């Protein structure tokens, strides 16, 4: 099956050149769920582009009867981030003009919602699907007001224009997958939201982190928080509901890299997830491993980042993926000085048990720069 391909204007530059987004839409023979997948929101996190490319190749190779619903794919979804360079490096994690993390800019309906509890009361007797439709309508109505501001004389900073485009494409999705990697050197894992452990396993990764401490206005958060908030309202009203709406951030290895092993894991995980969800209906999927897959789950509020306690060079650091115990040595700083002293070695020890899930690519640190991350 061949996708519909749409090119969407994103930004006119000072030179008159224009940046665009391009969406690949695979529409199944039967209607169903909408899946939205994007990659490279942070400029250095390029691995997802290979994943999406190979997914496109795969979808092109199957028939539209193998697909229930539709899958929208947006690789290189942030041209400003992807194309930026500082010497040979890709510093495009942040918008340098506005000094904003490209993944902390999204519009979160929950923050603007009017009285959700009153709304919920009116929905108590409706079916889950009816509630979903009504609520989505509410979200979209509010979202559309952003366009008024964008088109006004004062307009908006670029990050608000940009988010509008990405969220226009994804706001009504059922399942949303945002493919990232560490900016540094990271494990392959998935960020998920409450009560989605079972679906998380479909990605066949060894490790997942529950997002229970929000960074604020991240793409996955901004998508799912309004739905979790509505679930909360129903709970307050004595009714337990759960929407079949899911948001995932896949983390696949290292920044500026497309590690072949991470790419394979990403593709396999997404295909298996789509099959488990009944969207892909092809031979060999879901994978047999899917049933018995075991995962290690941690919580985002239990992430602890270690920052250099002195300036210098990091050496003798624990390997990525190590399970450390409190008191284990984590790394050593080779610290130079300009006070006529010999260089000094400073050892740093773990304050808690946990898994080393992220380490800095750069072994040179000014005091207060990131060295490694532990989660439990």
Beta carbon of residue 71, minimum distance to a copy of itself (angstroms, whole number): 15
Taking Cα atoms as reference points, which of 83, 95, 58, 94 lies closest to residue 73? Answer: 58
CB-wise, 35 or 73, nearer to a copy of itself?
73
Beta carbon of residue 363, minimum distance to a copy of itself (angstroms, whole number): 5
Taking Cα atoms as reference points, which of 177, 346, 340, 345 lies closest to residue 266? Answer: 177
Taking Cα atoms as reference points, which of 357, 350, 343 lies closest to residue 313? Answer: 343
Residue 16, exposed/middle/buried by CB under 10 A (0-12, 13-18, 19+)? exposed
Beta carbon of residue 160, minimum distance to a copy of itself (angstroms, whole number): 8
CB-wise, 153 or 292, nearer to a copy of itself?
153
Collapsed DSSP state (helix, strand, coil) of residue 46: coil
- Residue 149 CA to residue 65 CA, distance in Å, equals 42
Question: Measuring CA to CA, how many Å separate 332 from each of 130, 345, 351, 368?
Answer: 58, 7, 15, 14
CB-wise, 17 or 198, nearer to a copy of itself?
17
Tokens 């942070």 belong to 42
Report which DSSP code applies to 301. Answer: G
- Residue 124 CA to residue 143 CA, distance in Å, equals 24
CB-wise, 53 or 142, nearer to a copy of itself?
53
Tokens 């088109």 belong to 151
How is 199-215 classified by DSSP, letter by letter? HHHTT--SEEEE--S--
Beta carbon of residue 48, minimum distance to a copy of itself (angstroms, whole number): 10
Beta carbon of residue 122, minimum distance to a copy of itself (angstroms, whole number): 33
CB-wise, 60 or 289, nearer to a copy of itself?
60
Beta carbon of residue 80, minimum distance to a copy of itself (angstroms, whole number): 9
CB-wise, 118 or 340, nearer to a copy of itself?
340
Beta carbon of residue 19, minimum distance to a copy of itself (angstroms, whole number): 5
**How many C-beta neighbours within 10 Å does residue 319 have?**
8
CB-wise, 152 or 292, nearer to a copy of itself?
152
Residue 110: how many CA atoms within 13 Å on its side-chain side? 17
Beta carbon of residue 199, minimum distance to a copy of itself (angstroms, whole number): 28
Polymer length of the chain: 376
Beta carbon of residue 174, minimum distance to a copy of itself (angstroms, whole number): 25
Beta carbon of residue 43, minimum distance to a copy of itself (angstroms, whole number): 8
**How many C-beta neighbours within 10 Å does residue 239 have?**
13
- Residue 167 CA to residue 189 CA, distance in Å, equals 24
CB-wise, 274 or 359, nearer to a copy of itself?
359
Question: Two tokens at 46?
Answer: 């390029």
CB-wise, 196 or 265, nearer to a copy of itself?
265
Q: CA 358: distance to chain centroid? A: 16
- Residue 313 CA to residue 334 CA, distance in Å, equals 5
CB-wise, 28 or 255, nearer to a copy of itself?
255
- Bond before 286 cis per omega within 30 degrees: yes
Pairing mode of beta strands 246-252, 329-335: unpaired
């Amino acid at each position: 099956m061949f996708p519909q391909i749409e090119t969407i204007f994103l930004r006119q530059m000072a030179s008159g050149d224009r940046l665009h987004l391009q969406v690949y839409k695979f529409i199944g023979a039967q209607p169903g769920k909408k899946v939205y997948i994007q990659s490279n929101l942070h400029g250095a996190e390029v691995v997802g582009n290979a994943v999406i490319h190979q997914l496109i190749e795969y979808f092109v190779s199957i028939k539209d009867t193998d697909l229930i619903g539709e899958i929208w794919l947006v690789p290189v979804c942030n041209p400003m981030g992807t194309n930026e360079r500082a010497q040979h490096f890709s510093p495009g994690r942040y918008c340098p003009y506005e000094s904003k993390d490209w993944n902390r800019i999204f519009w979160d309906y929950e923050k603007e919602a009017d009285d959700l509890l009153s709304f919920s009361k009116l929905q108590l007797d409706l079916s889950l699907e009816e509630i979903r439709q009504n609520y989505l309508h509410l979200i979209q109505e509010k979202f559309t007001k952003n366009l008024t501001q964008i088109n006004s004389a004062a307009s908006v900073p670029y990050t608000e224009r940009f988010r509008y485009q990405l969220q226009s494409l994804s706001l009504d999705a059922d399942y949303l997958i945002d493919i990232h990697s560490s900016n540094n050197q990271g494990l392959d894992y998935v960020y998920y939201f409450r009560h989605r452990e079972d679906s998380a396993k479909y990605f066949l990764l060894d490790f997942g982190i529950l997002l229970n401490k929000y960074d604020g206005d991240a793409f996955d958060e901004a998508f799912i928080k309004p739905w979790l908030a509505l679930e909360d309202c129903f709970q307050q009203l004595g009714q337990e509901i759960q929407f079949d709406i899911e948001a995932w951030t896949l983390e696949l290895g290292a920044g500026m890299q497309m590690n072949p092993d991470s790419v394979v894991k990403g593709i396999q995980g997404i295909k298996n997830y789509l099959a488990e969800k009944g969207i892909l209906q092809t031979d060999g999927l879901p994978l047999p491993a899917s049933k018995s897959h075991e995962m290690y789950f941690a919580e985002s509020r239990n992430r602890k980042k270690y920052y250099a306690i002195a300036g210098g060079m990091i050496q003798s650091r624990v390997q990525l993926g190590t399970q450390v115990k409190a008191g284990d040595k984590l790394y050593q700083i080779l610290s130079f000085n300009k006070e006529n002293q010999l260089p000094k070695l400073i050892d740093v020890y773990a304050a808690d048990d946990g898994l080393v899930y992220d380490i800095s690519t750069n072994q040179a640190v000014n005091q207060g720069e990131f060295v490694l991350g532990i989660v439990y």
